[in-house]
A = this chain, B = another copy of it.
């Protein structure tokens, strides 16, 4: 293997794959990337066995071949090199020499044949989706996904196809739920049967990858994998195996109590009380009455705080408890507009919607306070 590549090109590829390479030392080869030098350029790949990323860059290849080198070290080296051409050359089996202006380095790799077999884009059923729509559905659901490793079917974003071109994305951790529908023209021929669960770690990587990408990206499904293509990069992730819970049954309907409050005002009011929320329980009490909403936090060690704001209110007075983080997270995903809360009583799930987007629904289970 021998090739020359622009520092900026290699640097871009190697920094993109850093999120995937294994930091723990369970399988040393997973801390490495695989570099495949073909006739006209190189592919750089990394995998954690569930998520795989493949990046392509032009290069002047003198001798094709593969090498597997530590991805983090390559990243650190390239971060400090000056612009210009960098030469990679295999000098002994698994040993690669890197030469740049005023710099040489000899890196010990691992036999590239030991690298896991990686997925390829063949056979994937791709459809196009606006990058910013995909980024939005992730950021408006992923916070509600479970983080505990035990509940693996909740540890991701559920994607299902509704009528027409409508895609729905849902996440829940059992205490709250977020669901959003978006019309994706390219998805009209997509077949998903009962829906698929996209793993949280992979979706966080996907989020980073499409950040700042203008226009459309391609999303594809095949067997138990999905793939995302943007420019010269492909990200594969294994779909979570298992059944997503019946989230529809927690969306409350026909609620007698309705509140309408400005999102900014709600957020400010919540922040004003946050200093005295008990750090463990994280409970705030909200009192609703005609035209007024009072958020109260209390902390046995320090005291009590109350914050008031105006709201439009329909129904009998009500006192209800919430985890303040859950409220913060919902309010942080939207900007401006008015939040509508619909509820039955202090024990039943509460539906949160925003007047600027009727296709985004969040549910929080109240806390007993």
This chain's copy number in the assembly: 2
Chain B, residue nearest A306 (CB): B104
Most buried by B among A95, A275, A299, A307: A275
Chain B, residue nearest A105 (CB): B305
Task: Digitize A17-35: 1 where CB-to-B-CB distance is under 8 Å, 0 elsewhere.
Answer: 0000000000000000000
Is B76's CB under 8 angstroms from A108's CB? no
Is B103's CB under 8 angstroms from A307's CB? yes
Is A274's CB under 8 angstroms from B107's CB? no
7 A-B pairs with the lowest CB-CB distances in the bound complex, closest first: A76-B275, A105-B305, A80-B271, A107-B303, A77-B275, A80-B272, A102-B308
Chain B, residue nearest A102 (CB): B308
Enumerate A85-100 residues with CB–CB distance to B below 8 Å.
95
Is A304's CB under 8 angstroms from B272's CB? no
Is B308's CB under 8 angstroms from A103's CB? yes
Is A302's CB under 8 angstroms from B102's CB? no
Chain B, residue nearest A107 (CB): B303
Is B73's CB under 8 angstroms from A276's CB? yes
Enumerate A80-136 residues with CB–CB distance to B below 8 Å.
80-82, 95, 102-108
Does A309 make an interface contact (CB < 8 A)?
A: yes
Known: A80-B268, A268-B80. A105 touches B274 (CB 8 A): no
| 17 pairs, CB–CB < 8 Å, chain A vs chain B | A73-B276, A77-B272, A77-B305, A80-B274, A80-B275, A95-B303, A102-B307, A102-B309, A103-B273, A104-B305, A104-B306, A105-B276, A105-B303, A105-B306, A106-B303, A108-B301, A108-B303
Does A15 make an interface contact (CB < 8 A)?
A: no
Chain B, residue nearest A81 (CB): B272
Q: Tell me which of B80, B302, B305, B306 contacts A70 (CB under 8 A).
A: B302
Question: A103: which B residues are within 8 A, CB to CB?
Answer: 272-273, 305-308
Complex alpha-carbon distance, A269 and B100, angstroms: 12
Q: Tell me which of B73, B304, B306, B309 contacts A302 (CB under 8 A).
A: B73
Is B275's CB under 8 angstroms from A106's CB? no
Task: Digitize A32-57: 1 where CB-to-B-CB distance is under 8 Å, 0 elsewhere.
Answer: 00000000000000000000000000
Complex alpha-carbon distance, A77 and B304, angstroms: 11
User: Within the complex, what minimum Cβ distance (angstroms) separates A273 from chain B?
Assistant: 8
Known: A102-B269, A269-B102. A274 touches B305 (CB 8 A): no
Task: Digitize A269-296: 1 where CB-to-B-CB distance is under 8 Å, 0 elsewhere.
Answer: 1011111100000000000000000000
Complex alpha-carbon distance, A221 and B98, angstroms: 57
Complex alpha-carbon distance, A276 and B72, angstroms: 11
Complex alpha-carbon distance, A107 and B273, angstroms: 12
Complex alpha-carbon distance, A268 and B81, angstroms: 9
Question: A77: which B residues are within 8 A, CB to CB?
Answer: 272, 275-276, 305
